[in-house]
């Protein structure tokens, strides 16, 4: 009996996304578009900009008080984002 070289379409697409590093770009896009769902309305409304550099998330926030508050909860936010994405997208957050 011949072995088949067939693979599932979904598996092929996932492999292509990983090879082209599009899975990371899609995850970053998803984080930006789902920011309110991930962190809540209060934090989302006080976030001016979200950007990424490798595995570091850069957040520009409206208030110094919020920066201080979020710095105490940094690991919880990292865990929430990574859980939301289903992978270890970020390892650190820089608050600006």
Q: What is the pLDDT of residues 2-32, one digit of tens each?
A: 556 777 877 766 676 566 566 788 889 999 9
Per-residue DSSP letter, 3 = P
Query: What are the residue boundaries of the structural domains of the chain, listed by start?
Result: 9-95
Q: What is the pLDDT of residues 61-89, one digit of tens each?
A: 999 999 999 999 999 999 999 999 888 99
Give residue for tokens 């997208």.
89
Q: Distance between CA atoms of 13 and 71, rounded to whole angstroms?
A: 37
Question: Rounded to two decimals, what is the model's pTM?
Answer: 0.79
């Amino acid at each position: 009996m011949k072995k088949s070289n067939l693979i599932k379409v979904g598996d092929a697409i996932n492999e292509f996304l990983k090879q082209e590093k599009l899975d990371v770009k899609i995850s970053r896009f998803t984080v930006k578009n789902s920011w309110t769902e991930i962190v809540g309305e209060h934090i989302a409304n006080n976030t001016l900009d979200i950007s990424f550099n490798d595995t570091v998330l850069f957040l520009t926030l409206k208030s110094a008080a919020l920066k201080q508050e979020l710095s105490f909860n940094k690991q919880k936010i990292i865990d929430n984002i990574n859980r939301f994405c289903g992978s270890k997208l970020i390892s650190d957050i820089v608050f600006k």
